[in-house]
Structure 1
Amino acid sequence: MKINQFLDATYLKTAAQAGVSEQRNLDKVMQLVEEAIVYNYKLVMIRSNYISIVKKLLQEAKSTVLVGTVIDFPEGNASLEKKLEEAQKAILLGADELDFVVNYKAFKEGNLHLIKKEVINCISICLTNNKVAKFIIEIAALSNEEIIVISRLIKQVVLDNFGEENAKNVFVKSSTGFYKTEESIPNGATLEKMKIISKNAKPLKIKAAGGVRDYEMAIKMIALGVDRIGTSSSKEIINKEHNTNKGY
């Protein structure tokens, strides 16, 4: 297995969140991109203000690594108009894949009409521009039953409005990695939660994000049907795969 093609190497902290200068934060992004070029990851997931410089670096290296960004991150409660405006800007900057944070608070309040409208419009802008859409449902904020409902809802919206042929261009994604939980409860992907998503979202693609930090967990996720893994530990995962294959 070439695990590198499952990896969305991720750095989404702002300079303020990282506690560093803007230049140092840019340096961290550039370091990630250089690493992605060397290891040929599927994608680098970054904030939209870095898209232009990252695209330029990848093009100069003649790399096939894709560029992804997040929309309405990490809260997901902006208006649909704001979501689409942010998406359009990211597309114009050159993003290949857009990870939208679903308005999970509205979903929990029972506003399924809003969620359907978000999903339809966000997929439309992506497919029209030959981009991939991913929907972050923030599983740490949801019960298992809610994960089932929202996964099925997104799947049905895709099948009803865009056809099964477009299922490959839409992902259900677990987490932002920024959700605050209590009592050290995981805020990212777990095997239990990803199994639920896999069972209820297929034939859509599935992305596990947050908490996948080692090769063993990555392999278990892939065995569950996960198509992509968002992680800040891509290099560690790749190196373990290399050592495992060498019999170390």
Structure 2
Amino acid sequence: MALSDIELRVLGALMEKERTTPEGYPLSAQALLSACNQLTSRDPVTTYHLQDVLATVQRLQDKGLVAVVQTTGERVPKHRHRVAEALSVNASEAAVMAVLILRGPQTAGELRTRSERYQHFADPAAVENVLRRLEERQVPLVRNLGRGPGQSQDRWEHTLGFDEERLKPRVRARDDASSGAEPEARSAAEERVPVATSPTTTLAARVEELEATVEDLRRRLSDLESNLGIIE
């Protein structure tokens, strides 16, 4: 399914807010715009305009990925995603997909840390199990990019921005393997190529992961203080 950058951002923002702030979901158009242009947990950070987001919502409606709902007693229409129905993904799969959509290629360890507010994963291996399921579908929803220099884990990306032609070679190879036929040789472009990552980029990714962990710990401490009635 080929989706544009802004379509992916709108979809990812809706998926995130459903899990992280359910009390405010579905989202109004203005809330959706704010979620799209959010400064944290976004790569890249964007500056979309309201009319762009509204036009994108209409296109996603036409593709069956977004629905507009009118709540009784409210004048402002709200927006929700339909990823679970359209792509047949469960909660853990949707959590991983949302973080990939909003933040680009990541390792299983990074995904585990950054998806904590969506879904708890015991360890990176649990995330890898989800990634494998998404990769092994008839039409894969993620793909493995291999390891960059200095990295101990493979990096993964979603495939929702790909058209079907780019996915057909992988799908055909899987069909050949299941039927016992010899798969055709894949071109160099179809082979997994490690992403070239400089030491600075690797360090920045590590710092970002640690910041996400600290943010999660602060949130948990704040919740604990609230439960104990501690007031600063």
Instruction: Output the TM-score relative to the length of structure 1.
Output: 0.25
Q: TM-score by structure 2 length?
A: 0.26
Higher radius of gyration, 1 or 2: 2
